[in-house]
Structure 1
Amino acid sequence: TVNIALTEGGRPRSGVVLAPATGELFWGDAEGAFAALVIGGVVSDIQPINVEETGPLRIVASRSHGHAALAELCDTLQVERDVSVGSSLKFCLLARGEAQLYPRFTPTSEWDTAAGQAVLEAAGGVVWDLDGAALTCGHRDRAFLNGFFIAAASEGLARKCLGEMNRLLA
């Protein structure tokens, strides 16, 4: 993916995520979140997108960077299915309502998360660290690595998942 984010005060304020292999384009800012297709260099089929809380619980997770706690979390939360895609696209699937949770149990780089985080937050979702604070950017002291986090379609889902994540990591 190609990920571009504008950050202010340690927070992603706008972001663009492009998946050249599929032509999927996502962006989000104070005006909302949107998805489109890029075919032959032309942007088409622009649609507003929003998170979806209802229905069977779907999760996006990292199989290539998995953690032992992930399977137990899925069982505890009674996840119907999980989807495996790249880091920034996980946020976009939540933003488009195709999943509700993205628990991250391993470190990832801010450049893999900031743009997707901006898209998800513009679509109505949240991204929190394990303390329940909004995930921030610009951490030179950590080589721009994020700690573990939860991205969710709502604060309620984030709280529920965060409690389980912290229990599993204790």
Structure 2
Amino acid sequence: MRAFDFPSLAEKLLPAVLAAGQAQMRYYQRGVTVETKPDSSPVTVADRESEALLLDGLWEAARGVPVVAEESMSLGAAPAKSRSFFLVDPLDGTREYVNRVGEFTVNIGLVVDHAPVFGMIYAPALGDLYVTLAEGRAVEAHVPLDEPNATLSSLPLRELRTREPNAEALTVLESRSHRTPATEAFLAGYTIGEVKRAGSSLKFCRIARGDADFYVRLGPTREWDTAAGQAILEAAGGSVTDMSGNRLTYGKADDGYGNPHFVAWGRDPIAAHVKAISDR
């Protein structure tokens, strides 16, 4: 089975990730036309152009490793099943992008034996980069788009580490676009001290850097939405589980790479207050 050198992989992918970010910002400044895919989700020319750049970068960086990419999948271009494969979401947070909220991201995740082991997330409007460099090690760096020749080895890196939760005053993240009554019911089982909002896969990154304790998603997502974020969060000390507490796994090709409902935790899953839930 192929071995992956994460620092080397990250260095090789960084130019393509920055190029994708530059393409997105060109359209972001002048506006884009939004189309609707068969699953009713939005897509723009920026999504497609970004994906093409990332696919070229992955071909150069890890030739022969299959890639499951969001826009290619929407056109029916699915690779053969493999123990190792990349998941690409070229522009996560299209709604934020179209609404000119800067919290959209470029996402590349690597899955090996159903587990996300490497993630790279870049928020071009913010210049923030998050990446897994080893098992148990994830870092962040600031990479402005006007530094297209930046290398990881030349950047100041900050280690990512989740925080110990205070069960009596938890900080939770919620989506800017997807809060539901089911989410409200779930949160009622916890003692919430603060609610913060974030878009796209940045929610995983904010938990990884210790800014919040958990994020729950009770709605449809695909594996390319979560793989990079899960790899980064787990390397920083967190976990991502389904609603039964099992680790979120990958490679469900027969189900269209769909995810179950899940929770991204800063540490291990936190038990809800059973009485609070039963009283509703």
1:87–1:113 Cα contact (<8 Å) kept: no
Contact 2:136/2:234, CA 8 A, preserved across alignment: no
Matched, 1:146 2:146: no
Letter in 2 for 1:100: D
Matched ranges for 1:12-161 at <5 A = 12-28=116-132, 29-30=134-135, 32-39=137-144, 40-41=146-147, 42=150, 44-55=155-166, 56-155=169-268, 158-161=269-272
Cα distance in structure 1, aligned partners of 2:175 and 2:136: 30
| TM norm structure 2 | 0.54
Q: Indicate the structure whose relative CO is greater, using CA pairs within 8 Å and at least 6 residues apart.
A: 1
For residue 119 of structure 2, give the secondary structure of its aligned residue in structure 1. Answer: strand
Partner AA of 1:160 in structure 2: A
Q: What is the root-mean-square deviation in Å for CA atoms of aligned residues?
A: 2.0
More off after superposition, 75-84 vs 31-40? 75-84
Of 36-45 and 143-152, the range deviating more from structure 2 = 36-45
- Rounded to whole Å, the distance in 2 between the matches of 1:75 and 1:14 is 33
Deviations 1:49-88 (A, max 9, x none): 1000245411112241222122233343121222222231
Unaligned runs of 5+ in 2: 1-104
Write the deviation string for residues 115-167 of structure 1: whole angstroms up to 9, x where unpaired. Answer: 00000000000111122211011111221111101110111xx1415x86xx6
Q: Say if 2:176 and 2:199, in contact at 8 Å, map to a contact too.
A: no
Report the TM-score, using the length of structure 1 for normalisation: 0.87
Q: How far 1:31 sits from its partner (Å)?
A: 5.2
- 1:45 is paired with a residue of what secondary structure? coil
Structure 1, residues 27-60: CA drift from partner, whole Å, max 9, x if none?
A: 1231501011002223633100100024541111
Length, aligned pairs only: 163
Which sections of structure 1, spanning at least 5 residues, go unmatched?
A: none
